[in-house]
A and B are shown apart, each in its own frame.
Chain A
Amino acid sequence: MSVLVVAELTHAGDFHPMSWEALTAGRELAGQLGLPLSCLVIGGSLGDRSAEAAARGVTQVAAVEHALLSAYTADGFCSALTQALGQIAPQYVVFPHTYQVRDYGPKLATAVGRAFLSDCTSIRFDGAEPIFVKQVFQGKLSADFTLAGDAPRLFSVQSGAFAADAERPDSPAPIHALAIELDEAAIRVHPTEPYREAAGTADLSSAERIVSIGRGIKDPENIALAQRLADALGAELAASRPICDSGWLPLDRQVGSSGQTVKPKLYLALGISGAIQHLVGMKGSEVIAAINTDASAPIFEVADYGVVGDLFEVVPELLKQLEQS
């Protein structure tokens, strides 16, 4: 019995940084339950990655290496991991909640006959069973879950919810290469090389100030108002996903899990409710201010300064007072 953390490699072959956040969650859980902590590395050609995982303060590294895992496919990864979980027989399996895990995690859980608790933000230990906390209803509510049923129990952790675990190079763990068999014919999805679309001109990551708009802007014609405020503050204009989905601003102005991650001195959110996907992209900002009509909007949970009010009343006032000063 152990707590097993599944580390992820990017298509470039490096560790996905969220792997070490999952390791922190696994370490907390293993410590509380008095179980050994192990790490699984999976890919087509692991190179030094297994040794790097072994220097992370774990008791064991399971290396799952197969040529058919070189390109990620849900079919290949599920088959390999089903075999690996059978051999390791862990009590808990921790995944980073990456796009890749979103693609195969629920399938793997179903294949091994288990539930999967996706996107946890914290774990509490105040009873017999660990309590897994997840945000629901777009962050308007939190939910405490327990996992029922037999081992292995599977869950994933949200980006940024746990600090990344540090290297501990003085105590390398043993590495076990697991023997797995994969059938090329059983891999039904055929992926091509990942590519990056021509990057736009907006590099929001280096902006000192950002004025960002959400659904509350209501109409593309109103974007001019936000742009005027951005100009007056010396800020870049950005947006939450729905604004870019609607084509009101280009995709390179999108902040959030599917857009850019920003850490400006000032992040001023106009009419943004603050869904989790948006918050993970901006909650590291030095000062966050938010204007929203809905007092229960999750954006106010991360805001240093909150204005519950109509942006169409407050922003013109801001512009007027900025002109006067």
Chain B
Amino acid sequence: MKIVVCMKQTPSKDSILRTSADGAGLDLSQTEFETNEPDSYALEEALRLKDEHSAEVVAITAGAANTTTAIRDALAKGADRGILIEDDLFAGVAEPLATATALAVAIRKESPDLVLTGLQSDDVGFGQTGVVLAELLGLPHATLIVELRTDGATLDVKRELEAGWFQRLQLPLPALLTIQSGINKPRYATLMGIKKAKKKPLDRLPLGELDAAVSPGLVVQRLYAPTKQKTGTLLTGTPAEQAAQLLTKLREAKVL
């Protein structure tokens, strides 16, 4: 069984985001990156299947030159190979169709049995790349998966619906699934794993060498700090003073 996992690296959770001079992009020169958290659940599902069914796991990402954080992380945790599609197009707010088209060109050559993605990226958060990719690859798909079983020919999955409802689905392989967070407990990379990862193959594919051009459909005009929905009161001072003010305010508002 061959499993391709789509990974992305996103700005780390506590990073401060600066917009670029033209206001339509981001200045990421000072930004620390980490593996997009939803993707770590997809990777763990792939590695779990590898442990159970002896699968080959290929981690793939589309990113700016040298965006190897997520791929190295995947290789250290147990993925067998990495593919990095490189272009500055993917450095900022890339549209899902462009990303999925590039991924599709590379994934087609792999002929995987199963393609897994995270639910969404914690940066732009369109939540579309997996589903668009399934359509481009001509694969059946299911989203928001919280349980995954396979006999090697079909998938039996549990899909999260809204408001506490669930549904089981059967679909034939090859297929694509987007994985909901919480489905598993992602493993940590071991020191041995990190050491071994350095020797694992990592293919770099410049986007220009793939037939993956897409005409723009979503155009970013401006990125900016959100306008506040409420003008709240900021309580300052020492922790003791902040606590005292908060209790006073909540009593005044008659909610205590």
Contacts and interface: CB of A to CB of B under 8 A. Distances in A.
Interface of A: 11, 74-75, 78, 98-99, 102-107, 109-111, 114-119, 131, 135-149, 188-197, 199, 209, 215, 233, 241-242, 244-247, 257-258, 265-266, 273, 276, 283, 286-289, 294, 296, 298, 300-310, 313-314, 316-318, 320-322, 325
A318 B247 contact: yes
B77 interface: no
Contacts of A305: 232-233, 235, 246, 249-250
Contacts of B168: 191-192
Nearest to A111: B135
Contacts of A194: 161, 165-167
Nearest to A293: B14
B128 A142 contact: no
B242 A317 contact: yes
A141 B171 contact: no
B97 interface: yes
Contact of A245 (B169, B181, B253): B181
Interface stretch (B64-72, B192-200, B221-229): B221-229
Interface string B106-134: 00000000000000001111111001101
A317 B240 contact: yes
Interface residues of B, number: 76
Contact of B17 (A106, A141, A276, A307): A141
B243 interface: yes
Contacts of B127: 102, 106, 118-119
A145 B220 contact: yes
A314 B229 contact: no
Interface of B: 11, 13-14, 16-17, 19, 93, 95-97, 100, 122-128, 131-132, 134-136, 140-144, 160-162, 164-172, 181-182, 185, 215-230, 232-236, 239-240, 242-244, 246-247, 249-250, 253, 255-256
Contacts of B140: 74-75, 188-189
29 contacts: A74-B142, A99-B144, A105-B128, A106-B132, A107-B141, A109-B132, A115-B95, A115-B217, A116-B128, A119-B125, A119-B126, A135-B125, A136-B123, A141-B223, A143-B220, A144-B221, A144-B224, A145-B219, A189-B141, A197-B164, A241-B182, A242-B181, A283-B229, A286-B255, A288-B230, A300-B234, A301-B226, A304-B253, A307-B234
